[in-house]
């Protein structure tokens, strides 16, 4: 049976929060009435207590920064092992900074209720499973349909305004060479690893492949894989067993390549370049706490743009990947293996769909 801890800054709200928790059949392990200065420590205490659920009463806190720090403290101690239920004011609207920050930290359950509604709404949320798809609706793009599970939509009558954007993206070929762009929804999710792996697989198929990697990244790779990239700076290139590795150039500089894979870095810094690729691979981590950045991209870009991406899920269990496929229904999702060595391109079945798409562009 799940055990919960309640944190609030208003003792008068503790009764309703307790009632809602117990009505859901959850064991109450503890309650902390904190203030702005002790809120973060209260989160650490709850996390260290080993509970599986934290009910965080953000509506009672005078400081949103303190709430964000508390969520971060819990994640630091227990990662995504704790289900955080964020209780906010009834009139909290989708897209507000606190809500976005919580979503980015892996919070799926947001309860917007008046004091008289807290107990019943909290009991309903705790009695159902979290839904990442429902939580995404709090990003503010549109008002959602009725909640499926673990989600309470604000009851205010004002709908957020949605401005439709029409974006035309021209796919380009530099000097006739197909370019595959690879970007990460965030850092350290395997973007460069995927770019190099694709280059190696294409090379194993007999194609003259080149991979563009930022110079600073290439230098780090030299240390990681014990490759000699000393002196390889901006605009230079190296030959690794027939695979051309280049840093900080454009595909047009690689006229000898039949196909170029371009590691463009983090999406928010390189979206314009990334969208120019003939094949566009957007990489993100499949763990629950890593899903905030990808959901922000999907919810902020026009449908016609995101439909052309291949969503590459890394560092994910089969269950994580299945949830990602469900949440990104209708979009192309590929589960990417993360082998210890990208240099072996002999057999990478996980990249078959991407390689096939590249083949259609050549």
Query: Would you kindly state where each structural domain of the chain is located, as residue ranges?
Result: 3-139, 179-361
Closest by CA to 258, choosing from 153, 103, 362, 120, is 362
Taking alpha carbons only, the member of 206, 231, 208, 207 closest to residue 219 is 231
Q: Is it true that 3-139 and 179-361 share their CATH fold? A: yes
Are the C-beta atoms of 260 and 253 separated by less than 8 Å?
A: no
Which CATH number among 3.40.50.620, 3.40.50.410, 3.40.50.2300, 3.30.450.40 corresponds to the domain 3-139?
3.40.50.2300
How would you write the pLDDT of the chain (362 residues) with one tens digit per residue?
Answer: 789 999 999 999 999 999 999 999 999 999 999 999 999 999 999 999 999 999 999 999 989 899 999 998 998 888 878 999 999 988 788 878 888 888 878 888 999 888 888 999 999 889 888 766 567 677 764 433 333 333 333 333 333 333 332 333 344 444 467 899 999 999 888 898 899 899 989 988 899 888 988 776 766 666 666 666 554 555 567 776 677 887 766 676 677 888 999 999 899 888 888 988 899 999 998 887 788 899 989 988 888 899 999 999 998 888 889 999 998 989 999 999 876 566 665 678 889 999 999 988 87
Cα–Cα distance measured from residue 2 to residue 25, given in angstroms and rounded to the nearest whole number: 8
CA torsion through residues 219, 224, 230, 236, sign = negative
CATH superfamily of 179-361: P-loop containing nucleotide triphosphate hydrolases (3.40.50.300)
């Amino acid at each position: 049976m799940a055990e919960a801890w309640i944190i609030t800054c208003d003792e008068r709200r503790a009764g309703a929060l307790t009632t809602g928790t117990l009505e859901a059949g959850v064991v109450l392990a503890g309650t902390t009435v904190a203030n702005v200065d002790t809120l973060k420590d209260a989160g650490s205490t709850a996390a260290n207590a080993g509970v599986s659920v934290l009910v965080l009463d953000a509506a009672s806190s005078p400081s949103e920064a303190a709430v964000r720090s508390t969520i971060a403290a819990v994640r630091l101690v227990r990662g995504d092992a704790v289900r955080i239920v964020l209780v906010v004011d009834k009139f909290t609207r989708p897209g507000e900074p606190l809500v976005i920050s919580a979503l980015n930290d892996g919070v799926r359950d947001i309860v917007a209720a008046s004091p008289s509604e807290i107990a019943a709404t909290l009991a309903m949320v705790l009695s159902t499973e979290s839904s990442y798809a429902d939580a995404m609706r709090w990003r503010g793009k549109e008002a959602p349909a009725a909640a499926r599970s673990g989600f309470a939509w604000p009851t205010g009558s004002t709908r957020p305004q949605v401005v439709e954007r029409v974006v035309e993206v021209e796919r380009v070929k530099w000097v006739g060479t197909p370019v595959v762009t690879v970007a990460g929804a965030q850092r350290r999710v395997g973007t460069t690893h995927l770019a190099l792996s694709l280059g190696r697989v294409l090379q194993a198929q007999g194609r003259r492949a080149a991979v563009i990697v930022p110079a600073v990244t290439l230098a780090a790779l030299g240390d990681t894989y014990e490759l000699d990239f000393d002196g390889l700076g901006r605009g230079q290139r190296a030959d690794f067993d027939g695979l051309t590795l280049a840093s900080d150039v454009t595909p047009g500089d690689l006229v000898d390549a039949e196909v170029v894979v371009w590691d463009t870095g983090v999406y928010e810094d390189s979206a314009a370049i990334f969208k120019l690729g003939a094949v566009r691979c957007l990489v993100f981590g499949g763990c629950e706490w890593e899903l905030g950045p990808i959901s922000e991209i999907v919810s902020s870009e026009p449908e016609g743009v995101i439909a052309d991406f291949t969503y590459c899920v890394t560092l994910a269990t089969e269950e994580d990947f299945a949830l990602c496929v469900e949440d990104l229904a209708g979009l192309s999702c590929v589960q990417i293996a993360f082998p210890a060595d990208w240099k072996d391109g002999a057999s990478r079945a996980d990249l078959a769909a991407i390689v096939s798409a590249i083949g259609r562009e050549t």
